[in-house]
Structure 1
């Protein structure tokens, strides 16, 4: 599975976990099509985002202006969480690639303002991880 497809499946799984009581593996199984297998990248994003959620949320809260995580739509919050995870822990992936992929997810699943909002927040978060 290509990484962009894995990201999309990870987004769908994390979204399910945010709106229901699904465990990570159950959510992953729900988003896979028949015969499709979860690759390590997909699993890493889902499990990693959930494992580091408190830290990720703290990072996001520090970079949200006039917003709280609770006020964000589930789509935007999910994309932001998984991308912050990827930016911090999937270090072999350039941060700009992670941001670009997040913007593409926002264009597909978010509203007309989501992609710009996601870009603005992640651009601020990016400064935290640059050396």
Structure 2
């Protein structure tokens, strides 16, 4: 499976987990239907396990928005991107940002990609310094 497809499936899995009583294993099984992919597993498990820390970092980069007020798609995409940027050493920032924007274009609304790009740009600028 290509990384883009793994990111799409990870987004679907993490999206399902928010606001439901599914376990992470149930959500992963539902989306993957028995298929295995190391990158997908790492992205879902890592984002889910580190969500509290990721949310703290994310809140610091939202202007005039609360985490709860963000649409679920954008919130989930931002969490995944911040996980990749902060926890995965082989993830170039430009690639992660482009992938997040593409996910927004597919799963979000017309304004999603610009919003996510702005938040991630601010995040990468501040963490690079």
Task: Report TM bin, short chain.
Answer: over 0.9
Q: 1:50, 1:104 → 2: CA distance?
A: 21
- 1:84 shift after superposition: 0.4
1:46-125 alignment, distance < 5 Å: 46-125=44-123
With structure 2 as the length reference, what TM-score do the two structures score?
A: 0.95
1:34-65 deviation line (CA, Å, top 9, x unaligned): xx613111011111011111110011100000
- 1:19 shift after superposition: 2.8
User: Which piece of structure 1 moves more, 119-128 or 24-33?
Assistant: 24-33
Gaps of 5+ in 2: none
**Structure 1 residue ranges (4+ consecutive) displaced by more than 2 angstroms after TM superposition:** none
Equivalent position SS for 1:64: coil
Q: 2:87, 2:126 → 1: CA distance?
A: 13
Contact 1:87/1:129, CA 8 A, preserved across alignment: no
Q: 2:8, 2:128 → 1: CA distance?
A: 25
With structure 1 as the length reference, what TM-score do the two structures score?
A: 0.93
Aligned-residue RMSD, C-alpha? 1.2
Aligned pairs, how many? 129
1:76-106 deviation line (CA, Å, top 9, x unaligned): 0000001100111111010110010000000
